Structures are given as C-alpha cells and as structure tokens.
Amino acid sequence: MIPKDHPRYRSLVAREQLARCAREGIVAPEGLAAHGRGEAFDYLLGEKTTESAALAERTAAAMLLAARHAVISVNGNTAALAAAEIAALQRASGADVEVNLFHRTQERIERITRLLTEHGVRVLTGTPERIVPLSHDRALSLPEGIGDADVVLVPLEDGDRCAALREMGKAVITVDLNPLSRTARTASLTIVDEVTRAIPAIAAACASLEPGEGERLIASLDNTYLLRAAIDEMRERLAHALE
Amino acid sequence: MIPKDHPRYRSLVAREQLARCAREGIVAPEGLAAHGRGEAFDYLLGEKTTESAALAERTAAAMLLAARHAVISVNGNTAALAAAEIAALQRASGADVEVNLFHRTQERIERITRLLTEHGVRVLTGTPERIVPLSHDRALSLPEGIGDADVVLVPLEDGDRCAALREMGKAVITVDLNPLSRTARTASLTIVDEVTRAIPAIAAACASLEPGEGERLIASLDNTYLLRAAIDEMRERLAHALE
C-alpha cells in the first residue's frame, strides 16, 4: 500500500494500476515502458498541470465542441488509467469513443471495451476497415467512427498514427508528456499533461467555455508555442533540481 | 524488425529485449516502467556517454579495483539488458556478482541466475540472510557477498536500497539515467549513463588505468559535480530541441 501522504502518491498509484492491467493483458509490455517515459517528463513538470497545458486543454474542449464529428480514440494505457474520466468527457463533449490499439488482438479489444463499458463509456462498435494509411492491423478503424471524424482526440498515441490521421486531413488532438516526441510535434494540438489530469480538465472546460471563447481559442492556437512553454518549464525545473 | 540504420536503433532493441524478458518473467512489469523513465532521460542526453559520465565510469573502475571486496548486485533489468557486459566486467574487475531483486521470488532468482550463467557470469550462491536494513525480502543478501563487501555496484537500483547500503557503511556505485532520483543523490558515485554503455566503459577503464590514476580519481570524486554536469547536458539539449 502506498501511503496517501506520499508526495508522489498519484504517480505511484497510476503505475501500480498500469502494472496490474499489464498482468491482465489490457496493457501491453511496451505500454508500460511508454508510461515510464511519460513519468519522467511529468516529473520534470512537477507532476502538475502547467498554465500552457491548461490553455491547451481549454482549446481542446473548444475543438471537440465545434467539431462536425469528434471521436476519442482509446488505447490500452488510456483505458487502464482513465476509463471513468473518458466517460465523463464523452458526456461533456458528446464525442464518440472508439477503441484503437497498436498491439491489436481481438481479445485485447474486447477486454478494453468491457473495461470502458463498466465505467460508463458508450463504445462504438462495427466492422473495422483498413482506413488509416498505416501497415498491418494498425490501419483498422471504424468507417462510421475515426473514418468519418473531422476531429480526433488520441491520448498517448504513437507518431506514425498521429501523422497518418493528419494526412487524412483530420484535426488531431493528443495528450503527450514528451514535448519532443514526433506525436507532440505532428499533432494539431498537443496537451503536455498527464492523462488523468488532462481528460477531466478538458471535460470541465467543455462545461465552462464562455460565448465566443471557443472560436477565439481555436483561431489563436499555436502548437509550437505550447511545446516551447512545456520545454521551458522542464528546463527551469532541472535548473533548480539539486537545491 | 527494427532497421539497423534507425537513428534510435540501440534504444529500440533494448526496449524489445526488455519486453521479451517481461513476457518470460525475468523483468517485472514495474521494471518496464522504470526502463521507460530511463529512456526519457537518455533521450535528453542524446543517447550517448557524456564527458562527465566517462569520468564517472573511470572512477568506478578505480573503486572496484581498489576495493577489499567488490560486489556487483544484479537485478532483472540489468540481467535482461547487460548479461554479457556484466560477465566482461567481472573478468576485468575481479568483482563477485550477486543476484538481488526488488520483486523477489525464488523462480525469478533462478531464471536470472541461469541467464547470467549462460552469458559467462560466475554468480555467487549461498543462503541469503536479512542483512540489509530494509523491510521484507528486500533485506535478503548473501553474508559472503553484499554482506561482506566494502564496494557495491548496483546498477538501476531503487533509492531505499541504495540508502540502506550506504547506512551499512558501504561505498555504493550506481548507474542511473535520472540525475534527480534519490538513488542518484544517495550513491557515493552515480554514473548517469545507459547501462549497456556504462558497464563496458567501466570494464575498459579497468584495463587502462595508468599507475596512480585510480588514487587520483577516487580522491577527487565529487558526485554533486557529476549530477550537475548531467543536468546541464539535459537542459542544453532541451533548449535546442525544437530547432
């Protein structure tokens, strides 16, 4: 048991949750390594939502609400960490939710769908087709889901898939703690924040945008500024790390 | 298959190797997450041995050679990534090798011992006792191994264990890519480098120290300087990351 007053309680609980889901086959071993990379960058952010991340989250809410058809693409790590948060964001934004895996097996799709459903997510079902320009089963998506979407939120995504969705002309919002990753640099909007902080923040913003605020946020979106701000936070923290 | 000319070939091969060892039970799920944290910091170092890390590796060689009894403590991640490198370092330094696990089961001890033996490591055997001041099975060590050592090399170690070994009066050398970790800040000497680069570098230094160089290196050891140098490298790389 991790004591609740441990300074890194949330981070340690998330790691335990993910290791448990790995033992159950919901999270791939590669997903655990990816989570570790995120932990390192979150540590450099002080494990909190920065001002620029909060701006990105508000902009993400504006984009989801303004979309013709918004879809949230959920993988194993996101389901393991934030199933309830995804359900709340779906309610707040009206977005569809589709399960989409890098390490895809029918069994993992079913386990993750079950986990999401148990937490109140309405998961799109249907017959996946090779829609996204990627090799192998990573191309598989639902024609009536990601195939039809104009805005896709893909938390914790890999660079190839992010780029392929952009090439299809979609607006891509990602949540990625590494501001240097190809995903972070390829997405239309990158939220450099931990997923269980980011998803509730987007949901809260969906409910609190002022009239006209959404249009202003979308018009002034500058992803390079957001990445630069995250990097500056990390540099500043490193500078004082040994004090 | 990862193409050999991929700019991050070594890093991606290491990750695959670790995921495979996780499926075989050699690496714990938590070990995969820890590896991911290391990858993030290595990325910030440019995935190369810095000048200050090379100095730390030379100092580590001096400490191992000057020890009354040097022991290399090997866990699952180290065995999975660097079994052959540990064998070479054992030959170069004359150090004993003991298997010591955070997530300890008899089965994992046996698997890891077998993996090391297959790669030419002579692994200490015996009856472990609760020697190290830690709770539960993490205290278990060999009286004739870590129990008797004056210098212990513990690559990829956790902060509690590093501190406990220091409290026992031992000189602790660690390999840790996170210069901010408790392990890095508690060890007598911290090598901020990737383990498959660090271990061969220490072995090479064992064979090439000039007369008197070892004494000089040990006398001028300044671990805070080494950590600060690693942090400065990371800050510099972050500053130019989006160019």
Residue-level pLDDT at B135? 82
Contact residues, chain A, for B35 at CB < 8 Å: 33, 36
Total beta-carbon pairs less than 8 A apart between chain A and chain B: 102
* ipTM score for this prediction: 0.82
Residue-level pLDDT at A190? 98
Contact residues, chain B, for A32 at CB < 8 Å: 22, 29, 32-33, 36
Q: Does A241 touch chain B (CB under 8 A)?
A: yes
CB A180 within 8 A of CB B43: yes
Residues 147-176 of B with CB under 8 A from A: none
Q: How far is A59 from chain B (nearest CA, A)?
A: 22
Return the percentage of chain A with pLDDT > 90, whole number: 74
Q: B238 vs A242: CB contact, 8 Å cut-off?
A: no
Q: How far is B232 from chain A (nearest CA, A)?
A: 8
Name the closest residue on chain B to residue A227, using Cα atoms.
B242
Q: Kindly report the average pLDDT of chain B as a whole number.
A: 93
Residue-level pLDDT at A137? 80
Q: Does B231 touch chain A (CB under 8 A)?
A: yes
Dig out the tokens for A61 from the structure.
Answer: 């809410």
Residue-level pLDDT at B224? 97
A162-179 pLDDT, tens digit each: 999 999 999 999 999 999
Q: How far is B7 from chain A (nearest CA, A)?
A: 14
B75 annotated as a binding-site residue: no
Residue-level pLDDT at B19? 85
Mutate to test the interface with A, among B6, B32, B41, B226 (most CBs of A within 10 A): B32
Asked if residue B58 has pLDDT above 90, the reply is: yes
Q: A180 vs B43: CB contact, 8 Å cut-off?
A: yes
Q: A29 vs B19: CB contact, 8 Å cut-off?
A: yes
**b (16+ CB within 10 A) / e for A60-75:** bbbbbbbbebbbbbbb
Q: B242 vs A227: CB contact, 8 Å cut-off?
A: yes
Q: Which of A213, A149, A162, A168 is nearest to A191 (CA)?
A: A162
Planar angle of CA A83, A86, A89, nearest 5 degrees: 155
CB B93 within 8 A of CB B64: yes
B99-152 pLDDT, tens digit each: 998 888 889 999 999 999 999 999 999 999 999 988 878 889 999 999 999 999
Entry pTM: 0.87
Q: Which of B175, B191, B72, B184 is nearest to B124 (CA)?
A: B72
Q: A1 pLDDT band (50/70/90 cuts)?
A: low
Q: Does B6 touch chain A (CB under 8 A)?
A: no
Q: Which domains does chain A have, with CATH numbers?
A: 51-238 (3.40.50.12640)
Residue-level pLDDT at A179? 95
Name the closest residue on chain A to residue B25, using Cα atoms.
A23
Distance CA B2, CA B77 (A): 21
Q: Which of A205, A179, A201, A199 is nearest to A190 (CA)?
A: A179
Q: B1 pLDDT band (50/70/90 cuts)?
A: low
What is the rounded average pLDDT of the residues B43-55? Answer: 95
A15-73 pLDDT, tens digit each: 888 888 888 888 888 888 889 999 999 999 999 999 999 999 999 999 999 999 999 99
Q: How far is A140 from chain B (nearest CA, A)?
A: 21
Instruction: Choose the closest CB to A178 out of B18, B40, B180.
Output: B40
Residue-level pLDDT at A24? 85
Residues 6+ apart with CB under 8 A from A134: A160, A161, A164
Instruction: Choose the closest CB to B39 out of A33, A228, A231.
Output: A33
Asked if residue B25 has pLDDT above 90, the reply is: no
B195-221 pLDDT, tens digit each: 999 999 999 999 999 999 999 999 999
Q: How far is A188 from chain B (nearest CA, A)?
A: 16
Residue-level pLDDT at B9? 80
What distance, in Å, lies between the first and last C-alpha atoms of chain B?
30
What distance, in Å, lies between the first and last C-alpha atoms of chain A?
30
Name the closest residue on chain B to residue A241, using Cα atoms.
B180
Q: Does A1 touch chain B (CB under 8 A)?
A: no
Residue-level pLDDT at A155? 94
Q: A10 pLDDT band (50/70/90 cuts)?
A: confident
Distance CA A139, CA A132 (A): 5
Q: A18 vs B38: CB contact, 8 Å cut-off?
A: no
> Between the CA atoms of A130, A135, A138 and A144, what dihedral angle is there, to the nearest 10 degrees?
-20
Residues 48-77 of B with CB under 8 A from A: none
Q: Kindly report the average pLDDT of chain A as a whole number.
A: 93
Distance CA B116, CA A15 (A): 28
Contact residues, chain B, for A22 at CB < 8 Å: 29, 32
